[in-house]
Amino acid sequence: MGWLLTFVGAVLGALLDEFAGLLYGALLGYLLGHSLIVTQRLYRLEAQVARLREAAGTTPSSVEAVASATTATGAVAEAAAPVAAEVIYELDADTPPAPMAAKRAATQPAPTASSGWGETGDATAEYKGSDLLASVMGFFLDGNVVVRVGIVVLFFGVAFLLKYASDHSLLSIEWRLSGAALGALALIGAGWRLRERRTSYALLIQGGGIGLFYLTVYAAAKLYHLLPLGLAFGLMLALVALSALLALLQDARSLAAFGISGGFLAPVLTSTGEGSHVMLFSYYALLNGGILGIAWFKAWRELNLLGFLFTFIIGTAWGWQYYRPEHFATTEPFLILFFLFYVAIAVLFALRQPLQLKGYVDGSLVFGVPIVGFSLQYGLVREMEYGLAFSALLLGFFYVGLALALWRRRIEGIRLLTESFLALGVAFATMAIPLALDGRWTSAAWAMEGAALLWVGVQQQRLLPRLSGLLLQLGAGFSFLTTFDSSGGSWPILNGFYLGTLLLSLAGLFSSFQLQRHDESLRWFERKLHYLALTWGLAWWLLGGLQEIARHLSLLNEYAAALLLMAASAATLLGLYQRLAWQALRYPLLGLLPAALLLALNAIDQPPLGHPLAGWSLLPWLLLFAVQYRLLWRLRAVYSPGLLRFGHSATLWLLLFLPSWELPWQVRHWLPEGEVWHYCAWVVVPLLAMALLLWRGPRLAWPVRRYLTTYLGSALIPVALAMLAWFGLVFVSAADPEPLPYLPLLNPLELTQLLILLLLTSWLLLHRRRSSRILGEVDPRVFYALLGAAAFMLLNEVIAHTIHHWYGVPYRLTALHQSWLFQATLSVVWGVTALIITVSATRLGLRTLWLVGAALLGLVVVKLFFVDLAGSGTIARIVSFIAVGVLMLLTGYFSPMPPRREEERA
């Protein structure tokens, strides 16, 4: 029927005024048809509920009781099902008085499939589709088919008659308009007469009569100039009053909505562009006062929304085109008045609903009014210093006071409304601070309102507000980035940029917490959104904090402050996790160590810093490690065992990395010429740490003894490999212990290498005593081989360093290669080493070790014939060959090859 009345209105409007009339007529026809459809369905449901109550002899106390009763009656259930949800959440919350409903039930026969002539008979099942063909078919086949078709035929007949009369000048425009006005009054009168016998039919022709009268007055005043605009305005105002009166008398919200729409459009339709805005807003104040009066008795949501939309859309249009700063004194009072009107209407809506719907918050008004009102307030006070800040502060106080007033009255069923007002009050009061210092109010307002909207959606278990709240926060973030200006204000923290990011962060974190807390009531695709909201909130938190640090601190202090921010953030998240059982926070806490490592690497790469403990960063590092170990302790029952072991290992690695890098930097800074001391400084910290862990670590109940396999095994493997790699790196050093003299093995470099070999040997022996549990899956023979290679490398270094320092041979590869003394010494020492290895392997029965010694002896022989024979002097060659020959004889006598063990055969 909505589409049909749209077409009818368009045709009638086109007859009065071609294009403009067609648009206005189509709009009014659509509104009228939609309102009548809703009203007809509601009245039908009311009549059916009244019949059920009479049949049962009791009065149901809830919607569930009515629903169960309608389930037992098939015909009623079929009629009630399409609109049940709409009645509960969107349509009239008022049920007409029982006598009226009973009277309608008595005068309207029950729907039957075979009745094609009764007022409420159904010729076919109601079609719920929204396309044009289905709507037209539903209009012609639902209800009294003859009456509906007759109205359409009569309408077209009259339209053709008027068109014919207009084309042939049979009737003047005055007669045509007078006829249309009389016809409109006749329709209104006939509808009033039939209001009790044919309710739906009566409302239909009353609405049509009112719409026709509106169009007639508009055409007479604006198109044909037959009526003064003042008189036309008065007539339209009278139509508004008539519509409201008819709506209240018949409990028909469609007529009220139609009348209010006409009332708001009347000054627009009759405007000349030269009127006073004070008169316009005064007139709208009267209309809104009427809506408030209706809201005192009726919870008509459509009427409230229509008034809200018309008032603020037309007001915004006027402000965009005509507002000037000199109009503030005559405009601000009306904005405040309209704001108070619709806040009161939102409260009345929650109070005036039936018991089963009490507490249902009209979110469109509760949250729409402050958003729209605050936006318009921005347009009024944007030229005033701190105008918007004071507006936000007063608005926050107003909502907090309103929430407290409602809370003290302890009215049943309005807790959600009270909490909504309290959330708005806190949000606006919070926004007053950044608004006082910066003009970025839009993003902050969107973010906070988005969080509030999501909270309402969670409380009411409605999908659309939840998704809208998240999208609103997303839009707020992108809006903030498009106006990104890190200059902010001169005050640290108390500036618009930082507080804007803070509000965006808090909105995201609050949304994440609400989504996780009510996870069971969410749709399946929403249950991971709280992770995205959490990431969004933490990203804004870190962006604002790091940017604020960079703006107000020097590079030296910036590094330490950033570490302090990370430690404080992790401590706060850990506290929130424990206090609120916020399970999702356990994942971002894992990022503390990677973030700290990135900061340390960045400090090392920055020339003004160059080392990880620059400035006063030692204190933040200590706090950070304290937070990290507290995190590992508190969440030991939350993380998996593997993740916990890795967390302890990574913490130890970072704890060793920092001083291991810091100490060489300090040595290079204070002893720029001490190359050997600089090399040694790289391994002093891991050497001492590994020694302490091996000898004193098991005495620490936590964390070492609790995770002994980790701290003495897997965590030390990278440390051991790093120290062995250091052996290869320092081979290029001449081991000059300036200012001390060089002594073999008693100089800093070689003594450090020797201590590393002894420490690693102790570590492997400890592993052997604990039956391979320390190293886990790593084969200890790998470390034995690496340890042997490192010891052999140290032996060669001692020879090279001694030849260099005591005999003046340059410490270069070519010079050492050409030195007969160095080559002869290598041959003899290698032979002695091979003899020691083979003899030890024979006594221990280690065939593999014996083969290593034999291979070394073979290498000595190859060296004799290909190196010493070609390059050494005569004396050196004789000494080398004789010594190696004697060593080989001793090896063959004292160390025969041991037999293969059973495990070696396996």
The answer to whether the CB of 72 falls within 8 A of the CB of 48 is no
State residue 873's pLDDT score: 53
Mean pLDDT of 25-52: 65
- Give the relative orientation of helices 441-460 and 415-437 as an angle to the nearest 10 degrees: 170
Query: What pLDDT is recorded for position 530?
Result: 92
Q: Which residue has the higher pLDDT, 257 or 649?
A: 649
| CA dihedral of residues 109, 112, 118, 119 (deg, nearest 10) | 70
pLDDT at 220: 76
Span 470-523, pLDDT tens digits: 998 998 898 888 776 655 556 788 777 888 899 999 999 999 999 999 988 888
Helix (H, G, I), strand (E, B) or coil at 122: strand
Tokens of 254: 């469609």
Q: Which pLDDT does position 691 carry in this prediction?
A: 94
568-614 residue pLDDT tens: 999 999 999 999 999 999 999 999 999 999 999 988 888 777 888 88
Tokens of 165: 């009369």
Question: Distance between CA 791 and CA 783 in Å, rounded?
Answer: 12
pLDDT digits (tens, 9 = 90+) for 364-382: 788 888 988 888 898 888 8
* In the predicted structure, residue 59 carries a pLDDT above the cut 80: no
φ/ψ of 194, rounded to 5, equals: -100, 10
Name the residue with tokens 């703006």.
Answer: 551
What is the mean pLDDT of the segment spanning 821-840? 84
Supply the DSSP symbol for 898. P
Lowest-pLDDT choice from 233-237, 375-379, 535-539: 233-237
What residue type is assigned to position 458 of the chain? V
What's the token pair of residue 630? 């507290």
Q: What angle do CA 711, 767, 781 make, to 5 degrees?
A: 115
Predicted confidence (pLDDT) at residue 747 exceeds the cutoff of 60: yes
Residue 128 has what pLDDT? Answer: 36
d(CA 203, CA 39): 9
- Please report which confidence band the pLDDT of residue 882 belongs to, taking 50, 70 and 90 as the band edges: low
79-123: per-residue pLDDT in tens?
333 333 333 333 333 334 444 444 444 444 444 333 333 333 333
pLDDT at residue 700, as a whole number? 86
Between the two ends of the chain, the Cα-to-Cα distance in Å is 92
Q: Mean pLDDT across the stretch 243-252?
A: 76
Lookup result for tokens 């409605």: 462
Give residue 240's pLDDT: 72
Rounded CA-CA distance 361/372 in Å is: 18
Report the percentage of the chain scoring pLDDT > 70.
70
pLDDT at 760: 92
Indicate if the pLDDT at residue 640 is higher than 80. yes
Residue 409: the pLDDT is 81
Cis upstream peptide for 703 (omega within 30°): yes
Q: What is the CA radius of gyration of the chain?
A: 45
pTM exceeds 0.75 for this model: no
3-state secondary structure string across 105-163: HHHCCCCCCCCCCCCCCECCCCCCCCCHHHHHHHHHHECCHHHHHHHHHHHHHHHHHHH
Share the mean pLDDT of the chain: 76
> Coil, strand or helix: which one is 128?
coil
Amino acid, single-letter form, for residue 360: Y
Which residues are within 8 A (CB) of 62 and not within 5 positions of it... i.e. 6 or more apart? 355, 356
Asked which of 135-139, 306-310, 697-701, 774-778 is least confident by mean pLDDT, the reply is 135-139
d(CA 861, CA 865): 7
Query: What is the CB neighbour count within 10 angstroms for residue 90?
Result: 12
**pLDDT (0 to 100) of residue 851:** 84
Please give the pLDDT value at position 834: 84
Helices in 581-640 by DSSP H: which ranges? 592-605, 618-634
Q: Is 155's pLDDT higher than 60?
A: no
Number of H helices, E strands in the chain: 37, 0
Distance (Å, whole) CA 787 – CA 720: 10
Q: Is the pLDDT at 64 greater than 50, yes or no?
A: no
CA geometry: angle 560, 566, 568, nearest 5 deg:
100
Structure tokens at 327: 């109009």
C-alpha span between 31 and 24 (Å, rounded): 11
**pLDDT for position 500:** 85
- pLDDT greater than 90 at residue 299: no
Say what the pLDDT of residue 850 is.
83
